[in-house]
């Protein structure tokens, strides 16, 4: 066992691994002699079954494959040698408070020392006269060259931790890559049935290895080409499953029924003519696509993907007006209370000339705007503490008195019942968690919409421009409308990278802008100091510094995610009504606040944000008639950070910036790996257009022959597992 005392996973007393054949869905807790503590540790890594363990993919490999003679090793390089232990000892270094175990090794060419720290148990395993294989980095000290903490095993054993390409896995405290390697090697020696979900015809067509061979290649490759081929197979498999699920969802959605809402061209023309601005061609096209979708008797399922400031809200208002004017209810869902209230105020203003009742419903508060005979609206505010009045609002929704209700996730609670809900709009949906998209859509199909046998039309919106590859991979079940055109006469935002030496000049500029009547955002990356990001300015600390030292004569507000809803709302309300000159904020203002008078934004530690997020921040300014400025403060001296930020300086095209962001940071950082719903190996390949296209084509062909996957039960089972994981996210 080469000194690893934890290798008790697969070794029954009789020396056999298992009496019966194992299946990939065999729970790890039922495997032979696996102690409960290891079951718990495996669960931390998401490993519940034998299949999960086999699909726990290495993230890199140590190349210990070349065996060297002792006289040929070089200081600073990684080497593998085979030598006999001629001397073995353990000493206690009192000053360093550690045990040091030393083995002196010899081969035909010479001798070398191997040193291990705080592993005194090695004296019970190693012995003089034994031949071992050692892999590690060659160091140099007063007593000559030596191996420092090398991997080792007896030379008679099949190479597992030395003498080969050695896999390194995602670990958790108490569960090492070495332990995982031993268990996986034993699994491959056992009687396991490797049921392959991928059809053999696809494997042959694409020249991909079957499951068992791919797993052997990924865990114990003999060459680099083997693990690269295996990774290609698993990346294709995960993307193929995602495409199958996406196409099936789209097919099921199209089989559902919804109300057909007639496109009243006269009404929409009257509405757009009355607007104080002219719609862009992109807005016109998107609105037309949505209005035509609403006429169909199966539900719309469309994604409105628009750049910051491209005017998604007005397109949503057109769709809402059409549905409400036809006598149906509309629900608009936002991820935060701040954004929900922003929409409530915006829609109330946009639709003020139409006889519609609009309500706001969140967990914090409820409000209602009612049309009056005078053509004006009165606003009723219903506080959460007045449960009777809250009940009245729910009653108004269920009776159909409310035409348009805007809120958070509270909208799909069981207590909310509609009379005839025909359209649901979800804004900034990726903020609910990318993996929750399908779940949210399913929840909406079962919402109490008051229309038996029908489900609402479904429109999702995002202000994060989605690169083509991510759109194909993630949103294949949605029809896509792009707002890639900005409103005319909108002044470009001047963006500059500011070094520490120019900070005072920018502060002077801010004083001038505020004196001229403008307002300023200051964006901070974090709410509190953390051990990891010790140099990042906390929002509260920066607020104190600016208030007392830099701008003592100005009114400064503070908003961050840890404030209560009422406190956050007041801070934003004060800023919107020009009671404060500067708003210090965290990422909470990325969406949901529209202040046309704000013309300056400072982003502290800009290098710590992704380009797409910086672009979202920047979109909070430049919404009025005044020239706007975005200053990227950075203390990073690296040319890579500066080069990355230059992409923001040089472009205001969110789609181009998103492509650059994806290229530089990878999809895991772009969307957040935790939110992706995909294994890392699939995430790494989300920029591979060819792979995604191939997976999509193969999925379409297979489903055309077997729509319900009756002939492919293993694929159907994997997709069900994928959906369960989404629901648990």
CATH code at position 320: 3.40.50.300
What does the pLDDT read at residue 165? Answer: 95
Residues 562 and 589 grouped into a single domain: yes
Give CA–CA dist 506/513, Å, rounded.
10
Q: Which residue has the higher pLDDT, 409 or 430?
A: 409
Select from 366, 260, 359, 274 the least CA-distant residue to 318.
Answer: 274
Give CA–CA dist 480/49, Å, rounded.
38
Q: How many residues does the chain have?
A: 729
**Mean local confidence (pLDDT), 714-720:** 90
pLDDT tens, 59-88?
A: 899 999 999 999 999 999 999 999 999 999
- Collect all residues with Cβ–Cβ distance below 8 Å to 380 and sequence separation of at least 6: 367, 368, 369, 370
Residue 459 pLDDT grade (very low, low, confident, very high; cuts 50, 70, 90): very high
pLDDT tens, 322-367?
A: 999 999 999 999 877 778 888 898 899 999 999 899 999 887 656 6
Residues 506 and 627 grouped into a single domain: yes
Residues 72 and 38 grouped into a single domain: no
Give CA–CA dist 412/63, Å, rounded.
53
**Mean local confidence (pLDDT), 451-472:** 81
Give the range of the structural domain holding residue 306, as residue numbers without chain letter: 265-483
Count other Cβ atoms within 10 Å, centred on residue 638: 10
Mean pLDDT for the chain?
83
For the cut 50, the answer to whether the pLDDT of residue 676 exceeds it is no
Residues 538 and 618 grouped into a single domain: yes
Domain membership of residue 392 (yes or no) is: yes
What does the pLDDT read at residue 726? Answer: 47
* Burial (0-12, 13-18, 19+ Cβ within 10 Å), 465: buried
What does the pLDDT read at residue 625? Answer: 84
Residues 589 and 566 grouped into a single domain: yes
Residues 328 and 454 grouped into a single domain: yes
- Collect all residues with Cβ–Cβ distance below 8 Å to 389 and sequence separation of at least 6: 366, 382, 383
Cα→Cα distances 589→42, 407, 516, 722, Å:
39, 18, 24, 33
Six-digit token string for 435? 């993996």
Highest mean pLDDT among 99-108, 336-345, 530-539, 630-639: 99-108
Question: Of 434, 457, 483, at which residue does a domain stop?
Answer: 483
Domain membership of residue 668 (yes or no) is: no
Q: Which residues pair with 421 in a beta bridge?
A: 329
Residue 617 pLDDT grade (very low, low, confident, very high; cuts 50, 70, 90): confident
Q: Which residue has the higher pLDDT, 386 or 52?
A: 52
**Mean local confidence (pLDDT), 214-233:** 95
**Mean local confidence (pLDDT), 447-466:** 84
Domain membership of residue 398 (yes or no) is: yes
Domain membership of residue 672 (yes or no) is: no
Angle CA 511–513–515, to nearest 5: 65
Highest mean pLDDT among 97-111, 597-611, 672-686: 97-111
Residue 725 pLDDT grade (very low, low, confident, very high; cuts 50, 70, 90): low
Ranges 379-393, 495-509, 605-619: which has the least confidence: 379-393
Q: Which residues pair with 99 in a beta bridge?
A: 92
Quote helix, strand, coil % in the chain, to nearest 5: 40, 20, 35
Domain membership of residue 549 (yes or no) is: yes
User: Per-residue b/e over 550-562, b at no fewer than 16 CB within 10 Å?
Assistant: bbeebbbbbbbee
The alpha-helical segments, DSSP class H, found in 577-672 are: 611-618, 639-650, 654-665, 667
Angle CA 190–191–192, to nearest 5: 100
For the cut 70, the answer to whether the pLDDT of residue 534 exceeds it is no
Cα→Cα distances 308→136, 439, 559, Å:
51, 26, 21
Residue 290 pLDDT grade (very low, low, confident, very high; cuts 50, 70, 90): very high
- Collect all residues with Cβ–Cβ distance below 8 Å to 221 and sequence separation of at least 6: 61, 165, 227, 230
Helix (H) or strand (E) holding 265: helix 265-274
Answer whether 498's CB lies under 8 Å from 631's CB: yes
Residues 449 and 521 grouped into a single domain: no
- How many distinct structural domains can be found in the chain? 4
Residue 385 pLDDT grade (very low, low, confident, very high; cuts 50, 70, 90): very low
CB-hemisphere CA count at 13 Å for 326?
25
Residue 107 pLDDT grade (very low, low, confident, very high; cuts 50, 70, 90): very high
* Burial (0-12, 13-18, 19+ Cβ within 10 Å), 682: buried
Residues 10 and 104 grouped into a single domain: no
**Mean local confidence (pLDDT), 368-380:** 51
Give CA–CA dist 158/141, Å, rounded.
32
Q: Which residue has the higher pLDDT, 284 or 657?
A: 284
Angle CA 115–118–120, to nearest 5: 85
Collapse the DSSP code of 635 into the 3-class scheme (helix H, G, I; strand E, B; otherwise coil) and give the result. coil
Q: Which residue has the higher pLDDT, 495 or 305?
A: 495
What does the pLDDT read at residue 603? Answer: 93
Q: Which residue has the higher pLDDT, 231 or 430?
A: 231
Residues 582 and 603 grouped into a single domain: yes
User: Per-residue b/e over 449-459, b at no fewer than 16 CB within 10 Å?
Assistant: bbbeebbbbbb
Domain membership of residue 640 (yes or no) is: yes
Q: What percent of the chain has pLDDT over 70?
A: 83
Residues 537 and 586 grouped into a single domain: yes
For the cut 90, the answer to whether the pLDDT of residue 707 exceeds it is yes
**Mean local confidence (pLDDT), 576-590:** 82
For the cut 60, the answer to whether the pLDDT of residue 673 exceeds it is no
Count other Cβ atoms within 10 Å, centred on residue 415: 11
Six-digit token string for 250? 């789209």
Residues 293 and 415 grouped into a single domain: yes
Residue 675 pLDDT grade (very low, low, confident, very high; cuts 50, 70, 90): very low
pLDDT tens, 139-166?
A: 998 889 999 999 999 999 889 999 999 9
Residues 319 and 426 grouped into a single domain: yes
Collapse the DSSP code of 153 into the 3-class scheme (helix H, G, I; strand E, B; otherwise coil) and give the result. strand
* Residue 343 DSSP one-character state: H
Question: Of 462, 483, 504, at which residue does a domain stop?
Answer: 483
Collapse the DSSP code of 456 into the 3-class scheme (helix H, G, I; strand E, B; otherwise coil) and give the result. coil
What does the pLDDT read at residue 441? Answer: 62
For the cut 80, the answer to whether the pLDDT of residue 18 exceeds it is no
pLDDT tens, 85-102?
A: 999 999 887 777 789 999
Domain membership of residue 690 (yes or no) is: no
Give CA–CA dist 580/573, Å, rounded.
9
Question: Of 610, 633, 651, at which residue does a domain stop?
Answer: 651
Answer whether 187's CB lies under 8 Å from 10's CB: yes
Domain membership of residue 31 (yes or no) is: yes
For the cut 90, the answer to whether the pLDDT of residue 668 exceeds it is no
Residue 639 pLDDT grade (very low, low, confident, very high; cuts 50, 70, 90): low
Helix (H) or strand (E) holding 558: strand 556-559
CATH number at residue 148: 2.40.50.140
For the cut 80, the answer to whether the pLDDT of residue 451 exceeds it is yes
**pTM value > 0.85:** no
> What secondary structure does DSSP assign to 539-553, as a single string?
HHHHHHHIIIII-TT
**Mean local confidence (pLDDT), 554-560:** 90
């Amino acid at each position: 066992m080469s000194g690893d005392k934890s290798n008790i996973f697969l070794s029954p007393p009789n020396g056999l691994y298992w009496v019966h054949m194992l299946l990939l869905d065999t729970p790890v807790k039922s495997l032979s002699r696996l102690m409960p503590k290891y079951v718990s540790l495996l669960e931390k890594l998401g490993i519940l079954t034998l299949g999960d363990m086999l699909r726990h993919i290495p993230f890199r490999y140590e190349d210990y494959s070349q065996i060297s003679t002792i006289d040929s090793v070089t200081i600073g390089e990684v080497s593998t040698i085979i030598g006999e232990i001629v001397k073995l000892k353990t000493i206690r270094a009192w000053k360093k408070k550690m045990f040091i175990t030393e083995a002196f090794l010899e081969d035909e060419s010479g001798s070398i020392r191997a040193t291990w720290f705080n592993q005194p148990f090695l004296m019970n395993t190693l012995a003089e006269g034994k031949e071992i294989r050692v892999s590690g980095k060659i160091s140099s000290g007063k007593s000559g060259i030596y191996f420092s903490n090398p991997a080792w095993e007896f030379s008679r054993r099949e190479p597992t931790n030395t003498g080969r390409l050695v896999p390194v896995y995602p670990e958790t405290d108490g569960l090492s890559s070495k332990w995982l390697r031993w268990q996986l090697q034993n699994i491959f020696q056992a009687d396991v049935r490797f049921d392959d979900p991928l059809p053999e015809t696809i494997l042959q067509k694409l020249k991909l290895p079957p499951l068992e061979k791919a797993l052997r290649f990924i865990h114990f490759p003999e060459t680099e080409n083997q693990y690269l081929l295996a990774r290609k197979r698993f990346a294709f498999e995960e993307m193929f499953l995602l495409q199958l699920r996406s196409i099936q969802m789209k097919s099921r959605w199209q089989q559902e029924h919804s109300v057909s809402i007639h496109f009243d061209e006269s009404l929409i023309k009257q509405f757009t003519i009355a607007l104080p601005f002219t719609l862009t061609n992109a807005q016109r096209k998107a609105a037309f696509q949505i209005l035509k979708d609403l006429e169909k008797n199966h539900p719309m399922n469309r994604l409105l993907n628009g750049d910051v400031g491209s005017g998604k809200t007005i397109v949503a208002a057109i769709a809402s007006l059409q549905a409400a004017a036809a006598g149906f209810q509309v629900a608009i869902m936002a991820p935060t209370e701040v954004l929900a209230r922003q929409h409530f105020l915006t829609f109330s203003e946009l639709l003020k000339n139409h006889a519609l009742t609009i309500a706001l419903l969140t967990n914090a508060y409820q409000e209602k705007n009612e049309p009056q005979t005078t053509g004006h609206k009165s606003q009723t505010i219903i506080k959460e503490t007045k449960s009777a009045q809250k009940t009245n609002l729910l009653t108004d929704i269920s009776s159909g008195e409310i035409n348009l209700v805007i809120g958070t996730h509270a909208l799909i609670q069981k207590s909310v019942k509609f009379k005839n809900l025909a359209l649901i709009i979800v804004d900034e949906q990726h903020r609910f968690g990318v993996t929750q998209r399908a779940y949210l859509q399913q929840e909406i199909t079962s919402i109490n919409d008051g229309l038996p046998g029908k489900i609402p039309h479904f429109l999702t919106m995002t202000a994060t421009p989605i690169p083509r590859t991510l759109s194909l991979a993630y949103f294949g079940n949605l029809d896509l409308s792009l707002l890639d055109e900005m409103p005319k006469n909108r002044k470009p935002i001047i963006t500059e990278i500011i070094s520490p030496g120019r900070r005072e000049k920018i502060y002077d500029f801010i004083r001038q802008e505020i004196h001229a009547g403008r307002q300023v955002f200051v964006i901070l990356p974090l709410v509190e100091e953390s051990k990891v990001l010790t140099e990042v300015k906390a929002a509260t600390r920066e607020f104190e510094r600016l208030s007392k030292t830099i701008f003592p004569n100005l009114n400064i507000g503070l908003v961050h995610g840890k404030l209560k809803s009422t406190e956050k709302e007041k801070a934003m309300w004060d800023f919107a009504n020009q009671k404060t000159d500067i708003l210090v904020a965290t990422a909470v203002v990325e969406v949901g606040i529209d202040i046309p008078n704000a013309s300056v934004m400072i982003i502290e530690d800009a290098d710590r944000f992704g380009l797409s997020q910086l672009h979202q921040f920047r979109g909070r300014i430049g919404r009025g008639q005044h020239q706007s400025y975005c200053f990227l403060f950075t203390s990073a001296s690296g040319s890579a950070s500066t080069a990355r930020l230059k992409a923001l300086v040089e472009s205001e095209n969110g789609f181009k910036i998103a492509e650059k962001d994806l290229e530089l940071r990878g999809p895991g950082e772009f969307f957040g790996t935790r939110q992706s719903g995909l294994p890392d190996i699939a995430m790494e390949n989300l920029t591979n257009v060819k792979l995604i296209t191939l997976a999509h084509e193969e999925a379409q062909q297979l489903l055309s022959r077997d729509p319900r996957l009756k002939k492919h039960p293993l694929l159907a089972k994997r997709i069900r597992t994928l959906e369960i994981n989404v629901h648990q996210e």
